[in-house]
Amino acid sequence: MNITYSKHTLANGLDVLIHEDRACPIVSVNIWYHVGSKNEVPGRTGFAHFFEHLMFEGSEHYDKGYFQPLQGAGALLNGSTNADRTNYWEVVPTNALELALWMESDRMGYLLPALTAAKFQNQRDVVLNERRQNYENRPYGLAGMAMLAALYPPDHPYHWPTIGQIADLHAAQVEEVREFFATYYHPANASLAIAGDVDTEEALALVRRYFEGLAPGPSVAPVRPPMPVLNGDTRLIIEDRVELPRLYLGWISPAMFGEDDAELDLAADILANGKTSRLYKRLVYDMRAATDVSAAQNSRELGGFVQIAATAAPGRTLAELERVIVEEVNRLASDGPTEDEIERGRVQAEAQFIYRLQTVGGFGGKSDQLNAYNVFLDDPGYFDRDLDRYHHVTAESLRAAVQRYVAHGNRVTLSVVPKGKTIYGMPGSVPSLVS
């Protein structure tokens, strides 16, 4: 699974990863900044996602929309923000590599001179509209926010959504946002991966030309909050514009790459990934009690959470779904998985690794994976060891992980029900305060 690469660190602290792949005349330029919503503080949320937008609005030496010159050269490009990192990428024809590097370096080093009050206000409106579209006006859209707010205490950096709180977005001032950028968006807090049809020395020379002169920026202190503790079953309810009630169950779990992280990944697959999974077979196929069911170990840098969700079929109740989910979780915790289930999970893990290595760029391609391992583990060549975590899972280690993290009553139970139908929610639920 490993891919060949070379790693170089410039004098200003920028990590540079280069992978040569001459199969196609294209190159991926992929930059990760080690900043996400976890680096924000209560009352000042949404800044990292805000910059995902502002970084496409022009910088000092190209103060126009970022897409036109790159798309004119035949590029694909995008960016994203989550709780732990922000990334930007371009996949360009080989002869446009220098253009992509120049533009990335200009917005890394010279964004603030081009950040005007008009741009700030315009992109704030865009973000608020995005929040309305993806959360407030989307069926079940507030469920994720409600789960995070209940799983993590108010001062924990995973308590708020990446897009930020509405009041914080309205209250944000240009100078606060400028200070946030100066703190986190600089070479010493970034990793640049180049993968594709390049010569390593030539690519490194271009990187030095455009990035080596940028100021390193201040050191960034790691975020180390205490692991949250749930006491008992926190029951919440949201009334939404939906037709069918949906149940969410959430438990605190280990961090990304941590002990038991791989076990819980496979446990989630066994419970609710595909039509042969335990919960799909019982709830959807046999009982016809649910229209869908899903499960995931949501791995993050500082800690994770296991979530199981199921939508009740017409005429069925969330209490029925909860009973079956708890039964299957407890059965997995007591009896463990079968060898066939373990093997199926390993095969799925291998397939996902291979899928991510099919492309040089984009979300999840070779350059993206090199940056992920470099930023989170300081080890770009972690591919084989990452996959080995799944090969080392045994029936007993998986059973023990489910017993330790999921098969207990310390959880969040969220009911999302049609407006005016709180009777459909789980008994004892109180309204969630997210909005």
Query: Does residue 221 form part of some domain?
Result: no
Dig out the tokens for 397 from the structure: 């280690």
Q: How many residues does the chain have?
A: 435
Query: Does residue 164 form part of some domain?
Result: yes
* Pair (151, 245) in one structural domain: no
User: What's the distance, Cα to Cα, between the start and end of the chain in Å?
Assistant: 44
Query: Does residue 148 form part of some domain?
Result: yes
* Pair (163, 273) in one structural domain: no
* Pair (188, 304) in one structural domain: no
Q: Give the C-alpha distances (Å, rounded to integers) separating 182 from 38, 51, 59, 165, 376.
A: 17, 12, 14, 22, 21
Number of structural domains found in the chain: 2
Check which CATH number belongs to the domain holding 255 and give it: 3.30.830.10
Query: Does residue 228 form part of some domain?
Result: no
Examine the fold and report which residue of 211, 246, 280 is the final residue of a domain before the chain moves on: 211
- What range does the domain containing 291 cover? 233-431
CB atoms near residue 347 (< 10 Å)? 11
Query: Does residue 82 form part of some domain?
Result: yes
Alpha helices in 62-141 (DSSP H): 67-72, 97-109, 117-131
110 vs 381: CA distance, rounded Å: 32
Query: Does residue 354 form part of some domain?
Result: yes
Phi, psi of 395 (to 5 degrees): -60, -40
Query: Does residue 94 form part of some domain?
Result: yes
Dig out the tokens for 291 from the structure: 């229209």
* Pair (187, 245) in one structural domain: no
* Pair (365, 277) in one structural domain: yes
90 vs 425: CA distance, rounded Å: 45
Please name the amino acid found at residue 28: S
Query: Which class for 25: exposed (0-12), middle (13-18), buried (19 or more C-beta within 10 A)?
Result: exposed
* Torsion region of 369: left, alpha or beta (phi above 0 gives left; psi -120 to 50 gives alpha): alpha
Examine the fold and report which residue of 180, 211, 242 is the final residue of a domain before the chain moves on: 211
User: Taking the alpha carbons of 220, 78, 210, 179 in that order, is the dihedral positive or negative?
Assistant: negative
Examine the fold and report which residue of 146, 176, 211 is the final residue of a domain before the chain moves on: 211
* Pair (165, 302) in one structural domain: no
* Pair (63, 122) in one structural domain: yes
* Pair (186, 258) in one structural domain: no
Query: Which class for 100: exposed (0-12), middle (13-18), buried (19 or more C-beta within 10 A)?
Result: buried
Q: What's the predicted TM-score (pTM) here?
A: 0.95
* Pair (168, 280) in one structural domain: no
E-strand ranges in 124-270 read: 190-196, 233-240, 246-253
* Pair (164, 249) in one structural domain: no
Query: Does residue 226 form part of some domain?
Result: no
**Regions of the chain where pLDDT drops below 50:** none
* Pair (376, 409) in one structural domain: yes
* Pair (184, 105) in one structural domain: yes
Of the CA atoms within 13 Å of residue 381, those in its CB half-sphere come to 8
What confidence score (pLDDT) does residue 1 get? 67
193 vs 374: CA distance, rounded Å: 10
214 vs 190: CA distance, rounded Å: 12
